[in-house]
Structure 1
């Protein structure tokens, strides 16, 4: 039962990653899913580029609300640090898909220790898209 539950959770996470990639592609944002994430690689789940800035997204899926600690997105922070060391413009985001299809985005930095995810707080997909396109 536990193995099936784990596979189901992982499948939902992969589905959320693919959904996010599709949403960006539909809006002509260059984006790719990085399938090696989650195996101790300092890479985000999804990588997008817009207006000369790299955007790394750690994708999560949850019901009503959740709390994510640094260990849940440390690969994203390591990626951000590496990009900055190389002099690249980069932003790191924890993106959460809530049941019902609501997306929220929370920017994280090297000092971030936890993210409180709630469908009523955080940037919406429209807001993150406007930011990426330089409209916000």
Structure 2
């Protein structure tokens, strides 16, 4: 399976999670990242909230997201009236969501790793407001 196919399958996994709540709808944005306009990988929402989500998955312990990709997500979310989130799934871990306020940056990228995501990331149920 190609890296692109793996990324798409992780995006679909997250979409199914939103739909299975019975309260959220979600869709994958085809071609995100390959068009000249800012976009997100996934749009999810319910009657009260809209989320613009950039998805990342990794077998390593860190994910680097170029600053311009983060800026484009924020720009899209602002125009669309959605909350911008980065969703990350590290190998062997659950999905975690990181808000723009909790991103850490190097000179050229936002960096999310398995350590800081435990402190600064939210689990899926926390993002959708289901605390069990």
Structure 1 residues 21 and 129: CA distance shift in structure 2, 3 A = same
- What does the per-residue CA deviation read over 1:1-22, in whole Å, with 9 as the maximum and x for residues that have no partner? xxxxxx7211111111101000
Q: Secondary structure of the residue that 1:74 maps to in structure 2?
A: helix
Match of 2:29 in 1: 34
Listed as ranges, the gaps of 5+ residues in structure 1 are 1-6
Taking the TM superposition and a 5 Å limit, the aligned residue runs for 1:1-136 are 8-28=2-22, 29-39=24-34, 40-63=36-59, 64-83=61-80, 88=81, 90-108=82-100, 114-118=110-114, 119-121=117-119, 122-130=121-129
Aligned residues: 120
Q: Secondary structure of the residue that 1:35 maps to in structure 2?
A: coil
Listed as ranges, the gaps of 5+ residues in structure 2 are none
TM-score normalised to structure 2 length? 0.77
Q: Secondary structure of the residue that 1:22 maps to in structure 2?
A: helix
- Give the ranges of 4+ consecutive aligned residues of structure 1 lying more than 3 Å apart after TM superposition: none
Take 2:128 and 2:43, find their aligned partners in 1: how far apart are those partners?
14
* RMSD of Structure 2 on Structure 1 (CA): 2.4
- What does the per-residue CA deviation read over 1:35-63, in whole Å, with 9 as the maximum and x for residues that have no partner? 12011331111001124321000001112
Take 2:90 and 2:125, find their aligned partners in 1: how far apart are those partners?
16
